Amino acid sequence: MKDIAYTRVESVGAALDSWRRHPDAMYLAGGTTMVDLLREGVFMPETVIDISGLPLREIRVDREFTRVGAMVANSDLAWNPAIRTLFPVISQAVLAGASGQIRNMASTGGNLLQRTRCPYYRDLGAACNKRSPGSGCAAIGGFNRSHAILGGSEHCIATHPSDLAVALTALDARIRVAGPDGEREIPITEFYLPPGDTPQRETTLERGELILAVHLPHAPSARNSHYFKVRDRQSFEFALASSAVAADLVEGKFAHVRIALGGVGTVPWRARAAERVLEGQAPSEMLFAGAAAEAVTGAVPRRHNAFKTTLIQRTLAAALRRLAEPS
Ligand SMILES: Cc1cc2nc3c(=O)[nH]c(=O)nc-3n(C[C@H](O)[C@H](O)[C@H](O)COP(=O)(O)OP(=O)(O)OC[C@H]3O[C@@H](n4cnc5c(N)ncnc54)[C@H](O)[C@@H]3O)c2cc1C
């Protein structure tokens, strides 16, 4: 058993200073992902920097966007009245994940950086390029029922697990970060990296960078947004397939359509071709089916997960049907 040094910080400056002194350190927020992976030996840092006391717990509605601090608990985010009105897809996505107790501990920043639930990633006896680069991918020839059909590579087919990240992808959210070189903003569509040849690199965050907040633009379509998730059981379970959709209905036709898919991609999967099918069209079952077919263009089903190609199309059609209902 390896000793890990623990330090707790109360300001962003102190967190970054601490990281400069311990460049192999990892940040610890709610700990609902971190503690499991430390116990299992998937992560082995010398130091953890506890950031749960940082003053990043505010949800603030500004003129052009709403700012959600990185330490806002998942439950506070889901039940916040402004979020429920302005961005219902966020509330629905968060409440469709984990359990009440976990949502009370889990933070917004930690949720976005939680790790895949691919069982081979957590099994130190299995080959996994994400955990141990160059070791291979046990999932490709193994039991791959829960794995990705979109965005995989010959090195990794692990799905991205976060429901919140899927909702944020349909809202064109931006991630505000601070690092050794200052602050910057990353559009969520540029935040996650598909595995390619380097599955161990999951985001465009630089080493030591800290998520400060999520910025949610006040697009009119965000108010008319919806999340639909299918899983093996109704609680405490990750998505087999999920769809986050946002759109206006202008004179009975879809406008400003945004679609993101979960449970099927190696990253939260933005379905732009499906958006184009819907734009300017009146809702109908035939239109939903056409958009859903576009959404799975390029899908590569594996031995045990071919059912996902159909399931994700039905999930997307169900979410679109809901959007088109009169409120
Ligand atoms: C049984 C179970 C079921 C679950 N079901 C679901 C589900 O259905 N859907 C779903 O989406 N999630 C689910 N989760 C995952 C849960 O949502 C995440 O564990 C949680 O959101 C992580 O947040 P945290 O604050 O605890 O992060 P931590 O565990 O503290 O950290 C996670 C990662 O984020 C990094 N980190 C945290 N905050 C920051 C920051 N501000 N800046 C930079 N790096 C940071 C840490 O270094 C670490 O790498 C489930 C978890 C469990 C245990």
- For residue 292 and ligand 1, the question of a CB distance below 6 A is answered with no
CB 173, CB 188: distance < 8 Å? yes
- For residue 109 and ligand 1, the question of a CB distance below 6 A is answered with yes
Please name the residue that has the structure tokens 């077919």.
Answer: 293
- For residue 263 and ligand 1, the question of a CB distance below 6 A is answered with no
Tell me what pLDDT residue 152 has.
98
Q: Would you state the structure tokens that stand for residue 277, as one six-digit string?
A: 């099918």
d(CA 75, ligand 1 centre) in Å: 13
DSSP symbols for 19-83: HHH-TT-EEESS-TTHHHHHHHTS---SEEEE-TTSS---EEE-SSEEEEETT-BHHHHHH-HHH
- For residue 236 and ligand 1, the question of a CB distance below 6 A is answered with yes
Does the structure show a pLDDT above 80 at 227? yes
Q: Whose CA is nearest to atom 6 of ligand 1?
A: 98
- For residue 73 and ligand 1, the question of a CB distance below 6 A is answered with no
- For residue 52 and ligand 1, the question of a CB distance below 6 A is answered with no
Q: Would you state the structure tokens that stand for residue 13, as one six-digit string?
A: 């400056």
Query: What is the C-alpha to C-alpha distance for residues 302 and 225, in angstroms, rounded to an integer?
Result: 31
Q: Would you state the structure tokens that stand for residue 179, as one six-digit string?
A: 């690092």
Instruction: Read off the pLDDT of each residue in 226-245 and give the average, rounded to a whole number.
Output: 95
d(CA 95, ligand 1 centre) in Å: 14
Separation of CA 131 from chain center: 19
- Per-residue pLDDT band at 189 (split at 50, 70, 90): very high
Centre a 10 Å sphere on the Cβ of residue 215 and count the other Cβ atoms it contains: 21
**Alpha carbon separation from 127 to 115, 120, 133, 142, 293 (Å, rounded):** 17, 7, 9, 11, 34
- Sign of the dihedral through C-alpha 284, 286, 287, 288: positive
> Is this model's pTM higher than 0.95 or not?
yes
Closest CA to 179 of 27, 59, 68, 10: 27
Q: Whose CA is nearest to atom 38 of ligand 1?
A: 110
**56-98 per-position pLDDT tens digit:** 999 999 999 999 999 999 999 999 999 999 999 999 999 999 9
Query: Cα–Cα–Cα angle for 232, 234, 236, nearest 5°?
Result: 85
Tell me what pLDDT residue 199 has.
98
- For residue 32 and ligand 1, the question of a CB distance below 6 A is answered with yes
> β-strand 174-179 against 182-187: which pairing, if any?
antiparallel
Does the structure show a pLDDT above 90 at 158? yes
d(CA 161, ligand 1 centre) in Å: 10
Nearest ligand 1 atom to alpha carbon 96: 8
d(CA 278, ligand 1 centre) in Å: 34
Nearest ligand 1 atom to alpha carbon 28: 30
Does the structure show a pLDDT above 90 at 52? yes
Tell me what pLDDT residue 99 has.
95
Torsion of CA 217, 219, 225, 230, to 10 degrees: -40
Does the structure show a pLDDT above 90 at 327? no
**135-149 per-position pLDDT tens digit:** 999 999 999 999 999
Instruction: Read off the pLDDT of each residue in 6-14 and give the average, rounded to a whole number.
Output: 98
d(CA 303, ligand 1 centre) in Å: 29
Query: What is the C-alpha to C-alpha distance for residues 234 and 140, in angstroms, rounded to an integer?
Result: 28
